[in-house]
């Protein structure tokens, strides 16, 4: 099927330039020329150096750290620039959607920032959104424009399945992730254990946002087994390392971990590198500079997946097969 737009343009903010370049290489188009400047008064200025009039425009921006707020503003300003330059259609490609953990009012007088972000993206001019493994599926509903949520879990499943280990047990780091971990385990053909995590409020804090993860219990038998902890993201590494300690106490033979989004905040990379984890597997939805990489970290690229979906969106071809083949129902 042909596209209703003659040409495609792909632009990127500073959220994850290496991934944007890989996507362009796979799609077979050059990265769009844009100037992004942050002035001394901290105002961000963006200029598209080529016409986007009536073009099918994709704006790639992972909401990464450091300087997350700048990354968000770059995305919004890029979308606004495309809108005001008469782009035919603008798709915001957000490999990692930040603020996903602020998705409900679970305390008095707190915001739903994941919703606020969705409102801003729409107001800025996005006609549709493409993202990967949201922290919570209901964030899809925060948008009233089309939203395609892909998963990279199949990449992780394939990686571990190819090891062919018959003593592997998948471990969910908390009860909330148990359903997705169960589906992951099913796709690999391994049994499941569940760590029961509760975040413990720190002394003197009443807001519930300064809590350390504490593991209370393990459901399942991991003694003598190879354990694979699976999570959607690793931020500080606190949750994963707490589970590692629990599994060690329970007699696990070897411990591995995987996640889609390697946020690796603060000194997380150092703590993970120095832990007893044999290997961590993640993806490149977020940039991983050399100081956050080590030989025990394997990074799989989501560029092929995103490139394929961009081509399908541009050509007006269904992405259904991506969902049915890649988004294994067991991984929903």
Active site residues: 197
Q: How far is the CB of 271 from ligand R5P (least distance, A)?
A: 10
Which stretch, 9-17, 169-177, 243-251, 324-332, contacts ligand R5P (CB under 6 A)? 169-177
* CB nearer to ligand R5P: pick between 160 and 177: 177
Binds ligand R5P (CB under 6 A): choice among 13, 15, 32, 237: 237
Residue 195 interacts with ligand R5P (CB under 6 A): yes or no: no
Q: Contact, 243 vs 220, CB < 8 A?
A: no
Q: Does 100 bind ligand R5P (CB under 6 A)?
A: no
Nearer Cβ to ligand R5P, position 6 or 207?
Answer: 207
Min CB(296)–ligand R5P separation in Å: 17
Query: Using H for helix, E for strand and C for coil, what is the string for the chain?
Result: CCCCCCCEEEEECCCCHHHHHHHHHHHCCCECCEEEEECCCCCEEEEECCCCECCEEEEECCCCCCCHHHHHHHHHHHHHHHHHCCECEEEEEECCCCCCCCCCCCCCCCCCHHHHHHHHHHHHCCCEEEEECCCCHHHHHHCCCCEEEECCHHHHHHHHHCCCCCCEEEEECCHHHHHHHHHHHHHHCCCEEEEEEEEEECCCCCCCCCEEEEEEEEECCCCCCEEEEEEEEECCCHHHHHHHHHHHHCCCCEEEEEEEEECCCCCHHHHHHCCCCCCEEEECCCCCCHHHCCCCEEEECCHHHHHHHHHHHHHCCCCHHHHHHHCCHHHC
Smallest gap from residue 182 Cβ to ligand R5P (A): 15
Instruction: Pick between residue 160 and residue 264 the one whose CB is nearest to ligand R5P.
Output: 264
Q: Residue 234, interface with ligand R5P (CB under 6 A)? A: yes
**In the complex, minimum distance from the CB of residue 222 to ligand R5P, in angstroms, rounded to a whole number:** 18
170 makes contact with ligand R5P (CB under 6 A): no
**Window of 78-86, 140-148, 163-171, 172-180 that interacts with ligand R5P by CB under 6 A:** 172-180
Among 95, 125, 238, 287, binds ligand R5P (CB under 6 A): 238
Question: Shortest Cβ distance from residue 265 to ligand R5P (Å)?
Answer: 7
Among positions 15, 32, 125, 173, the unique one binding ligand R5P when judged by CB under 6 A: 173
Distance CA 164, CA 186 (A): 14
What are 76's two structure tokens?
């919004």
Which of 103, 133, 232, 308 touches ligand R5P by CB under 6 A? 232
Q: List the one residue from 233, 269, 307, 326 that touches ligand R5P (CB under 6 A).
A: 233
Query: Interface with ligand R5P includes 177 (CB under 6 A)?
Result: yes
Asked if the peptide bond before residue 66 counts as cis, ω within 30 degrees of 0, the response is yes
Least separation in angstroms between residue 32's CB and ligand R5P is 32
Residues near ligand R5P (CB under 6 A) = 173, 176-177, 213, 231-240
């Amino acid at each position: 099927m042909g596209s209703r737009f003659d040409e495609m343009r792909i632009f990127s903010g500073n959220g994850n330039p290496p991934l944007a370049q890989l996507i362009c290489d796979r799609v077979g188009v050059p990265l769009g020329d844009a100037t992004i400047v942050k002035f001394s008064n901290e105002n961000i200025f963006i200029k598209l150096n080529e016409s986007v009039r009536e073009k099918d425009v994709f704006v790639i921006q992972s909401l990464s750290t450091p300087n997350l707020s700048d990354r968000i503003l770059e995305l919004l300003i890029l979308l606004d620039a495309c809108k005001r330059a008469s782009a035919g259609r603008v798709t915001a490609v957000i490999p990692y959607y930040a603020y996903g953990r602020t998705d409900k009012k679970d305390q008095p007088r707190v915001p739903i920032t994941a919703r606020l972000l969705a409102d801003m993206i729409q107001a800025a001019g996005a006609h549709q959104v493409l993202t990967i493994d949201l922290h919570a599926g209901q964030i899809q509903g925060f948008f009233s424009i089309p939203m395609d949520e892909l998963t990279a879990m199949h990449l992780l499943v394939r990686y571990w399945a190819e090891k062919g280990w018959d003593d592997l047990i998948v471990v969910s780091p908390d009860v909330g992730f148990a359903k997705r971990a169960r589906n992951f385990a099913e796709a690999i053909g391994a049994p499941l254990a569940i760590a029961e995590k509760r975040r413990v409020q720190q002394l003197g804090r009443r807001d519930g946002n300064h809590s350390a993860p504490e593991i209370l219990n393990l459901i399942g038998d991991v003694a003598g087994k190879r354990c694979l902890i699976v999570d959607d993201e690793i931020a500080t590494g606190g949750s994963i390392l707490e589970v590692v300690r629990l599994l060690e106490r329970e007699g696990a033979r070897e411990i591995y971990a995987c996640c889609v989004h390697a946020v690796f905040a603060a000194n997380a990379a150092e703590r993970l590198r120095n832990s007893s984890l044999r290997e961590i597997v993640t993806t490149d939805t977020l940039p991983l500079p050399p100081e956050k990489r080590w030989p025990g970290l394997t990074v799989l690229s989501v560029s092929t997946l995103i490139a394929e979906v961009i081509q399908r969106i541009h050509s007006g071809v269904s992405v259904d097969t991506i969902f049915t083949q890649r988004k294994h129902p067991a991984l929903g």
